[in-house]
């Protein structure tokens, strides 16, 4: 396999692990259209680079299969926007301004961005508007998707990679801003967080149900 073929396969494997959380070599191979042997070579190479790690997972009788997942270093392969500037700015604000004022500024920013989102996604059914928002978030560096609510009415927006993850790790209040952002973008819905990367989840998930 040429180097030009290897790179897209590696990137696709990393993206699948980001979305799935944990996955076997056979599942990766099937999704990417390569042999299990080729996929295992990719995974061993990624493991040597510290991007992925494996743990045994029994699959019935016989030899257990490895479940592969991204390491923290692997997650950092995905874009993180202007995090260094933002981190410095938030750090300066946190040391020079009262906590209440920092929260107020973040809430104001969420409201302004939500206004932009509402203008860009326009009118239409809830599904159509969610689809347009997910497309916008992808362009901003998020690995985002949406699915029907498995427990009833509504939709779940999942963000498997947060473009401001490093900022959120130091300033969890940014996550509250994200929740308010979704709520302001869809004022005709009840919005709640159902998954959270900072809480050990595989994604940040928001459940939207029409009011």
Average pLDDT along the chain, 211 residues, taken 10 residues at a time:
55 82 88 89 91 76 75 74 54 69 74 89 95 89 88 91 70 80 94 83 88 90
CATH fold of the domain at 3-75 = Arc Repressor Mutant, subunit A (1.10.10)
Unique residue bearing structure tokens 């860009």: 120
Q: What is the DSSP letter of 188?
A: T
CATH fold of the domain at 83-210 = Muramoyl-pentapeptide Carboxypeptidase; domain 2 (3.30.1380)
- Residue 72 CA: distances (Å) to CA of 50, 79, 81, 133: 9, 13, 17, 27
Unique residue bearing structure tokens 């709640």: 192
pLDDT attached to residue 3: 41
Residue of 85, 82, 101 whose CA lies nearest to 93? 101
Unique residue bearing structure tokens 């998930």: 205
Is the full-model pTM beyond 0.95? no
Are 132 and 200 in contact by the 8 Å Cβ rule? The answer is no
């Amino acid at each position: 396999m040429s180097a030009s073929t290897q790179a897209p396969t590696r990137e696709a494997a990393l993206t699948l692990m980001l979305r799935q959380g944990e996955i076997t070599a056979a599942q990766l191979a099937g999704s990417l259209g390569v042999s299990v042997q080729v996929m295992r070579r990719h995974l061993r190479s990624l493991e040597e680079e510290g991007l992925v790690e494996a743990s045994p997972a029994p699959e019935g009788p016989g030899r257990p299969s490895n479940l592969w997942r991204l390491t923290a270093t692997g997650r950092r392969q995905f874009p993180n926007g202007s995090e260094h500037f933002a981190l410095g700015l938030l750090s300066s604000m946190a040391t020079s301004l009262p906590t209440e004022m920092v929260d107020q500024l973040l809430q104001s920013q969420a409201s302004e961005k939500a206004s932009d989102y509402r203008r860009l996604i326009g009118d239409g059914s809830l599904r159509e508007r969610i689809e347009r928002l997910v497309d916008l978030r992808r362009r901003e560096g998020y690995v985002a998707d949406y699915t029907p609510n498995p427990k009833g009415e509504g939709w779940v927006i999942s963000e498997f990679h947060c473009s401001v993850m490093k900022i959120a790790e130091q300033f969890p209040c940014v996550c509250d801003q994200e929740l308010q952002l979704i709520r302001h973008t869809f004022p005709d819905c009840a919005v709640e967080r159902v998954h959270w990367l900072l809480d050990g989840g595989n994604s940040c998930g928001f459940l939207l149900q029409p009011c």
